Amino acid sequence: MKLLSFAFILICGVAFAQNSPIKTFVSNQDNQHRWLNEYAEFLSIPNVLGDSINMLRNANRISEMLSKLGIKSELLYSGKYKSAPSVFGEIKVPGATTTIAFYAHYDGQPVNPKQWAEGLAPFTPALFTDRLDQGGKKIPFPTAVEKINPQWRLYGRASSDDKAGVFAIITAYEALLKTGSKPTVNMKFFFEGEEEAGSINLDEIFKRNKEKLNADLWVICDGPRHISGKKQIVFGVRGDVNVDLKVYASKRPLHSGNYGNWAPNPGMRLAQLLSSMKDAEGNVLIKAFYDDVTPLTALEKQAIAKIPEVETILKEDLLLAKPDGGGKSFIELLTLPTLNINGMQSGNVGTMASNVIPTEASAVLDLRLVLGNEVNRQVQKVVDHVALQGYTVIDHEPTDAERKQFPLLAKLTKRKGGYNAQRTTMDLPLAQKVAKAIETTIPYEVVKVPSAGGSLPLFLFEQLIDGKPITVPIVNYDNNQHAENENVKLEYLWEGIETMAAIMQLK
């Protein structure tokens, strides 16, 4: 039996510590009760950029969390009006020669409370026995004598993206302190407040604080673990940019019976224009859209070959008979740029629908970029494509003269905050040490992924503060981030604390 157990450890390539002081501390019910209540309180502070009062409340709350652990913190501003501060803290460990900076963001995506499930409100955290769509029932927060079930879900905006990262990082240091476990690295903490808006002021904050933010490695705690549930390290992220597209027809709305067949319908025009951008398999048809993609390295290809298959899980969970991609694997498609329609609008639907021909139709496009793409160049490809469809492309609301002159008018504008993709080399020695640290918390080999599907402004870390970032996500993949009914599985939150604590004890 001992030989079999030893062989299992060798096969997994890990030294899994089942009863480590940190694991015991995290599994302690008294701690979990306290953390659950503290986290719910944190989630109850609205965190949508533009609400400057509540954004500052969030930043001050994080500062308080750090201060309680003896970490001196400060708010870093860009100097721009109504910008949200980043929260910075630092710990110097005697004898440590390596500095690791931990990053997460405390802002969340905008919310439409009407889209949330009945009985749920974005900033009123609620506890459920399981996922809502899998029969989860709302339950009261447990009393001190009731056992917390790790399968429970906590619902609320930013519960996964990304206050979970903030909370796990800070709580991990608490676990070290209270178990007498000593960190082996100097640590810096950086919690951003504008990531969901494209990190519009992060460059200025970096420029103002380059020396202060110097570190040997940046650990980014954001995003979900592997779809299989395994812990993973991600060595890169896609870039991102959003584009507003609007097409026009008559200057005032028209009766659909009196003017139908004669007056052009902007909703139809927009639908036809958007459909020209992709084929039936979801491949982007815009000229040169994929041409400047940097090929994967041999090491990255090897890593991809080892990543567990997820298509079966996803098709069953999402009830998809046939995904896009023309047969390419899920992970292969993550290495390509995307063109997504975030939303479309023209006239009204449902009970508000009326028999009119609207005056305009609009859409918001979301372009995800991979290494080799450049924000402005990728946007220009879209502009050129729209022009090739016969449209006169403008960057302003059309004048009466322009409406008379041009039969097809499209306004196309890039939103602020777009950024390029980033990838860190997978053989970075410190990153390999992080992998080994994480593997002390799990009975398997950590999944290593060349690049995530999501986006973070990590190219700024390379460009402005010479940072080497890797991402260590902690939350469940089915968390509804960016959408209604966002949630976090408590088991993953607790395990995320263990993960961050292990990295703080890097060997």
Is residue 306 in some structural domain? no
Domain check: are 11 and 73 in the same one? yes
pLDDT of the residue at 11: 43
Q: Specify the DSSP class assigned to residue 373.
A: B
Looking only at the bridges linking them, the beta strands covering 186-192 and 99-105 are parallel
pLDDT in tens, 151-199: 999 999 999 999 999 999 999 999 999 999 999 999 999 999 999 988 9
Q: Could you count the other beta carbons within 10 Å of the beta carbon of residue 12?
A: 14
- % of the chain beyond a pLDDT of 90: 92
Confidence band, pLDDT 50/70/90 cuts, at residue 15: low
Domain check: are 56 and 114 in the same one? yes
Distance CA 103, CA 468 (A): 12
The per-type count for the chain, helices as H runs and strands as E runs, is 16, 21
Average pLDDT over residues 44-67: 97
CA distances (Å), origin 331, targets 200, 304, 444, 452:
29, 7, 20, 9
CATH of the domain at 480: 3.40.630.10
Find the radius of gyration of the CA atoms of the chain: 24
Which among 397, 483, 404 has a CA at the least distance from the CA of 108? Answer: 483
Distance CA 487, CA 152 (A): 10
Mean pLDDT across the chain, nearest whole number?
94
Here the tokens at position 244 are 């507003």
- Judge whether residue 5 has pLDDT over 50: no
Confidence band, pLDDT 50/70/90 cuts, at residue 82: confident
pLDDT in tens, 495-507: 999 999 999 999 9
Positive/negative CA dihedral, 248, 254, 260, 262 = negative
- Do residues 25 and 19 touch, judged by C-beta distance below 8 A? no
Domain check: are 488 and 340 in the same one? no
Looking at 414, 446, 474, the residue that finishes a domain is 414
Confidence band, pLDDT 50/70/90 cuts, at residue 16: low
Which among 235, 287, 263 has a CA at the least distance from the CA of 431? Answer: 235
pLDDT of the residue at 137: 97
Is residue 330 in some structural domain? no
pLDDT of the residue at 473: 97
Domain check: are 398 and 372 in the same one? yes
Distance CA 468, CA 477 (A): 25
Domain carrying residue 117: 2-29+45-123+158-237+421-504
- Judge whether residue 347 has pLDDT over 50: yes
The values of phi and psi at residue 408, to 5°, are: -125, 115
Distance CA 194, CA 205 (A): 11
pTM of the model: 0.88
- Judge whether residue 128 has pLDDT over 70: yes
Confidence band, pLDDT 50/70/90 cuts, at residue 430: very high
- % of the chain beyond a pLDDT of 70: 97
Domain check: are 56 and 201 in the same one? yes
pLDDT in tens, 276-318: 999 999 999 999 999 999 999 999 999 999 999 999 999 999 9
- The torsion of the CA quartet 75, 77, 81, 84, rounded to 10 degrees, works out to -60
- Judge whether residue 3 has pLDDT over 80: no
- Judge whether residue 13 has pLDDT over 50: no
Looking at 395, 414, 433, the residue that finishes a domain is 414
- Judge whether residue 18 has pLDDT over 80: no
Which long-range CB contacts under 8 A does 214-217 form with residues at least 24 apart?
214/99, 214/465, 214/466, 215/99, 215/100, 215/101, 215/188, 215/467, 216/98, 216/99, 216/100, 216/430, 216/468, 217/98, 217/99, 217/100, 217/101, 217/428, 217/430, 217/431, 217/434, 217/468, 217/469, 217/470
Q: Cβ contacts of residue 85 below 8 Å, gap of 6+?
A: 55, 56, 59, 75, 76, 77, 193
- Do residues 409 and 403 touch, judged by C-beta distance below 8 A? yes
CATH of the domain at 389: 3.30.70.360
- Do residues 210 and 462 touch, judged by C-beta distance below 8 A? no
Average pLDDT over residues 413-421: 91
H or E element at residue 190: strand 186-192
Confidence band, pLDDT 50/70/90 cuts, at residue 9: very low
Q: Cβ contacts of residue 158 below 8 Å, gap of 6+?
A: 43, 47, 106, 107, 108, 164, 486
Report helix, strand or coil for 99: strand
Is residue 305 in some structural domain? no
